[in-house]
Each structure stands twice: as structure tokens, then as C-alpha cells.
Structure 1
Amino acid sequence: MAKSKVYFSRNTSPDTLLELYRTLGKQLEGNVAVKLHSGERGNQNYLRPEFVKPIVDEVKGTVVECNTAYGHDSGGYRSTTEEHIKVLEEHGWTKYFDVKILDAESPDLVLSVPNGKIIQENFVGKDLAQFDSLLVLSHFKGHPMGGFGGALKQLSIGCASTAGKCWIHSTGKSKDIDETWELDINQDEFIEAMADAAYTVDQYFKDKVVYINAIVNLSVDCDCCHVAEDPCMEDIGVMISTDPVAIDQACIDIVFNSDDPGRDHFVERVESRHGRLILDACEALGFGNREYELINIDED
């Protein structure tokens, strides 16, 4: 298999996202969904609307999100559509973009995982079916449960409905919020369930998807945390690819090979949660390519 191309720039300006997209040369057409993390109320690290505006405008995209699977007792204010919209308004997303909560109405869109190791069905917001193409615009950072969050997490947990999030987190045992968080779940199986789910969304759009990872605000905590650690590393840059496995692998490599003083703290978060297992699991599914060619556009 030929190496996947991943384009990279150390410039982290909004216009760099647009430059990378044009360098990639992959035109997203039709009704374009832009899946990003809009940030939990109280979180300080999420990508701001102003940062992504040039690329979202370029693809004439609709910002899409799905409701969460945790409530106020866990610091969450996005588990219902009504509250989620309020947070989107507070964070400025509705000021600049058309916004859609994909699972605002049931039933969910059910995607099959015929070769899934942990789950054989994935439940995503049904309004995903309204879109022809997908731009996955990820803030690459750590994560309390997954170790790290990038393109693959956006495809899996990010595109899953509330019930789908429960299904992944419970490794296919429950779609109920209260029941899910009471279960004793094997960590490796959870990571592998994320890989199964990510596979379904990538395959749903096939060759009509582009992935951008912004390696900035490098906290060990996710944007879903209302109380998150401040970044422990300096910003690194931005990457783009048509391969979600390659782009996440490239991000992991550039962080792990960094000499930044905060590198060890970030790596500990990834390793303690077995975060890199998702890359192995995707490879086992025949999904994506961990071998990549990193092309630095700053050197052109």
C-alpha cells in the first residue's frame, strides 16, 4: 500500500487551513458537513469560530454537532438540543455559521460494522444523511478516556448520537446514559469500539471526506471538559489529509518526538489510556494507513 499523504504547516493562522486545503487539491462538493468540537461550557481550549471561519466559508459548510452523553452532574450542558444550542450561541458558532445538531430528532441513522471487533452497529445523528461531503476539523489534544482526540475520535464519538455515544462507551452493552456510566468497561475494548465506529462514518462518505487536525492548545484534557487543564505544550502546527489514520498517526509522532518540556505529561495521558491502540485497531479493520508521507508546505 502506498503511503498516505499528510500535508503540514507550522503556521497556525486561520488562512493556513485554507492554504492546506487548496494544496491538498481535494474539492468537497454538494452539501458539506463540518464536524468539529464546539467546546463544553467553561472550556478554554476549544478552537474558536474565528479560527476556522475561512475554511468553513470556503467549503460553504454547515457546522454539525451531536448531543453528549453526560449531564450537569458531570459538568455537561450539551446533552439536550435546547441546552446544546445555547452553548453554541455562547461560543459564537451561530454568529458565523449555519449550525445543525445531527441527532436533534430520532430515530438515529444506523451504520453497520460487519467486521467490527467490539460493536456491529453504530448509531449516528440521522441528519448526517442530509450531507454529501464531510470536513472533519479536529482540535488534536489529550482526552481523559481515549488518551488523545483527533480525526478518529471525531468520526466515532463525535458523530455518534447520545445513544451511540453510550453504545461505544459501553462497548455495545447499553444505549442508556445512566446505565452506561455504571458499567465496568474494559479500556482496550472501549478504544477498539471507537475504531469500529470511526470506520463506519469514513466508509459512509467514502472518498468525499477531508481531515484537518490543528495541533494547538495542547491540553491533556478534551474540549468536552468544562474544567480542563491549560495546555502543557507549545502549539505545533496544522495538518490535512484524506486519511484519518495517517493524520492521527502523524500527530502522535510529532508530539511524541517533540523536545517540548510538556511532552512527557501529554505522552503519559495517551499511554495510560492505551490511546494509540485505536491506530492498531483501525489497521486491523483494513481502515486507513499508518504509513504516511509528511509534506511540509512551509518548505515549498
Structure 2
Amino acid sequence: MRLQLRLAQKPFTDIKRIKIKKIDLGGILVLLNIDKNKNERYENMSKSKVLFTKNITPESLVNIYKQLGRELGGKVAVKVHSGEPGGKNFLKPEFMKELVDYVHGTVVECNTAYPGRRMESKEHWKAIQEHGFTNLFKVDIMDEEGELELPIKDSKHLKVNYVGSHLANYDSLLILSHFKGHQMGGFGGALKNTSIGIASSKGKLHIHTAGNANKPDGFFNTPQDAFLESMAEAASSIVEYRKDNILFINVMRDISIDCDCNSCPKDPEMKDIGILASLDPVALDQACVDLIYKSDDKGKASLIHRMEEKHGIHTVEEAARLGVGSREYELIDIE
């Protein structure tokens, strides 16, 4: 009989942090009052591994990638957020340089679907240059020359995902995300960066309207959960497309309640937490949400309000339903 380790409607905050040199699931088993010997094999098979370090340095970023044990091969696309000009919380190119160099990667982005300097390629390139990316990396705006369609299975809203056409030029994907709040999605992490982040301008509108972009009121009358479910659906198409040639890293620093797509985001109210990485984007985002709730930082209140107000956890729930990953995980401290 399958064991249910969490309720579907709220974060699970009792995962214990475990040292990588001595993995011991006993604390979780005692918590759940399960006989260890009978269930040890199940526990090891069912949980996704999420690696954690409190050290937020370029060296730690490379180390956590290595510890995942999946070497990305061929042409590697490193998906980042280039940051809307005016904002200052986005991950800086100097911070990620060692990692991008290590995987011989190309930094990739896509244009936005809302007014701003990243909506069209000409101004987006200027913003990318101003933020220092072109000085350090090869950079590619993947939808600059159009888009391609990826099919979506078992969806409620979207049948296809429109992504930058240059995605087909890469063999592997490294999703490097700044975990923070989001004014529409509640929070943004691996799933958002994999879905809306890789979507073309048309694809972003397609997701935001839950497939109703052609309707006059599609953008303004889309139910919140339909938008969140559409993000999960889009993410599922990317994971299916790249299969085992993808991994995910979330950086929990400068944790504002606003996204890096905001040109005037609010200053962070809580302290930095660390870097997390996984082969499973669902487990990764769930772990980040759990760390916010578990934090003893009083500044977390605004972010929790933002996440709950927008029902942000529902993206994680829907991605798990679609088989993108699991909400059950081991948090492994690699330091």
C-alpha cells in the first residue's frame, strides 16, 4: 500500500536535514511511526534527493552541481533570469561564472510578454549587456527567431507549450533559478523558470491565460489556479523534452516578495538561506517553500503572505500530479 507522507494542500515542514556522509532516514521513520526494516527499501526509492548548502559562493555553486552526479553533456543551455532593468535582486553573472564555465554553457533567456525593456530582442540585448552577461558568456535569446511547439500530456488547459526555437540547438539544460516571491505566481523557482522562463513571448501569454490568449478578456479573467496549473503543464513539457539531460539549482538569496521581472521590486525582508539543487524540480521547489516556513526569521511573514495569497504551492501540487517529480524528498546538507 502506498504511503502518503504529506497532505496535498499545505507544505510539509518536518523533513530533517541529513549529512551526505551519513544518510540516516531514522528520524523520518520515527516521525511517521513506521517500522524501519520493513520500509527502508521503500523510503530510499520514493524520495527525491535535494542537496543543500548554506554557503552562497561561486565555489559552492560548482560544488553542488558536481554533487548531483549528473554531468550535462553536449551543448549546455544555462537558463537564467536576465533581470528587468531597475531591479537589483537577480543572480549576477559574476556569481554564476564558474559554474557556466565548468559546464561550457551558453546563458539563455527568452523575451517577455509584458511592457518593459525585455519584451523585444533589441532592448532585451541592451539590458543583458548592461547587466554584464555578454561580457562573461555566450548569450542566446532563444525566441529571437521564433518558437517551436512542445506537446503536453494529461493537461487541464494547454495542449502545447510554445518555447524559443533555439531550444532545439542544445543537448542539455541547467535551470539556474533565483528563488523569491512572485506577484502573480506567489513564488518563483525551478518550475517557473522552466515553464514561463523558457516560453517564448507567445508562450508566456499562452500560460498566463491558461490557453485563452485569443479571447478578449483572456488575460484578465483567467482563474488563479488555472494559471498555476498551466505553469506546471508547461514545465512538464520541458522535462519530457529533455528527459535525463536536465537538472535544477535554486539560489535562496535576496529573497524579495517580488520577481526579478519587476523593475522596482521590494527589498528583501528575510536573510539569505542557501543553495539547493536536485534532479527533481518539484522536490526542489517544495524544499525551498518548506525552508521559508521553517525559518526563524520574522521577515518571512511578507513572503509567506504572498505565497499563500496567490496559492503558490498549487504549481508544485499540479506538477507532482503530472509526474514531473515528487513532493517527497530528503534534504541533504553537503557541507
Aligned to 1:266: 303
Which residue, 231, 235, 238 being the options, matches 1:198?
A: 235
Per-residue deviation, residues 5-24 of structure 1 (Å, max 9, x unmatched): 11100001111000111111
Unpaired segments of 5 or more residues in structure 2? 1-44
Q: Is residue 2:60 matched to residue 1:16? A: yes
Q: Contact conserved, 1:245 with 1:290, CA < 8 A, in 2?
A: yes
In structure 2, the partner of 1:112 is: 151
Q: Which residue of structure 2 aligns with residue 173 of structure 1?
A: 212
Scaled by the length of structure 1, the TM-score of the pair is 0.95
Distance, in Å, in 1 between the alignment partners of 2:214 and 2:63 is 41
The percent of aligned pairs where both chains have the same amino acid is 50
Tell me if 1:121 matches 2:160: yes
Instruction: Tell me, yes or no, if structure 1 residue 86 matches structure 2 residue 130.
Output: no
Following superposition, the deviation at residue 114 of structure 1 comes to 2.2
The letter for the 2-side match of 1:189 is: A
Query: 2:100 matched to 1:56?
Result: yes
SS for the counterpart of 2:324 is: coil
The Cα shift of 1:214 comes to 0.2
Q: Given that residues 191 and 275 in structure 1 are in contact (C-alpha distance below 8 angstroms), is that contact kept between their aligned partners in structure 2?
A: yes
Q: Is the 8 A contact 2:188 2:259 kept in 1?
A: yes
SS class of match (1:231): coil
- Structure 2 matches for 1:1-300, cutoff 5 A? 2-71=46-115, 76-106=116-146, 108-174=147-213, 181=219, 183-298=220-335
Please say if residues 281 and 324 of structure 2, whose CA atoms lie closer than 8 Å, have aligned partners that are also in contact: no
Larger Rg: 2
Consecutive aligned runs of 4 or more in structure 1 exceeding 6 Å deviation: none
Contact 2:280 2:324 in 1 (8 A): no
Q: Work out the CA distance in 2 between the residues paired with 1:235 and 1:52.
A: 17
SS at match of 2:196: helix
Superposed CA deviations along residues 37-60 of structure 1, whole A, max 9, x for unmatched, are 010010011010001111100000
Structure 1: unaligned runs, 5 residues or longer = none
Q: Contact 2:97–2:136 (CA<8 Å) still a contact in 1?
A: yes
Q: Residue type of the partner of 2:185?
A: G
Q: Secondary structure, in 3 states, of the residue corresponding to 1:185?
A: coil
Separation (CA, whole Å) in 2 of partners of 1:27 and 1:2 = 23
Which segment drifts farther, 167-176 or 234-243? 167-176
Measured after TM superposition, the shift of residue 120 of structure 1 is: 1.1
CA deviation vs aligned residue, 1:154-201 (integer Å, no higher than 9, x gap): 01100000000000001101169x9654x3110010000000000001
Aligned-partner SS, 1:158 = coil
Distance 1:103 1:180, change over 3 A: farther
Query: In 2, Cα distance between the equivalents of 1:173 and 1:155?
Result: 21
TM-score, with structure 2 as normaliser: 0.85
**2 CA distance for matches of 1:206 and 1:151?**
15
Aligned length: 291
